[in-house]
Amino acid sequence: MIRKDTTIEELVRAHPESVRYLMEKGIKCIACGEPIWGTLEEA
């Protein structure tokens, strides 16, 4: 289940197809190769 306290890293690991959606919503750090910390709510 995806909740607001799900971390972005957990989401991407479980659902790799979510990367495109997150990038479209302005969460660009996914493409930079840095570790992703924080929750969906914080993003």
| Domain range summary for the chain, segments of one domain joined by + | 1-43
Q: Is the pLDDT of residue 43 over 80?
A: no
Output the pLDDT for position 32: 62
Question: Is the CB of residue 21 less than 8 Å from the CB of residue 28?
Answer: no
26: left (phi over 0), alpha (psi -120 to 50) or beta: left
Output the pLDDT for position 27: 80
Output the pLDDT for position 12: 87
Q: Is the pLDDT of residue 36 over 70?
A: no
Tell me what the mean pLDDT of segment 6-31 comes to: 84
Please tell me which residue, 18 or 37, carries the higher pLDDT value: 18
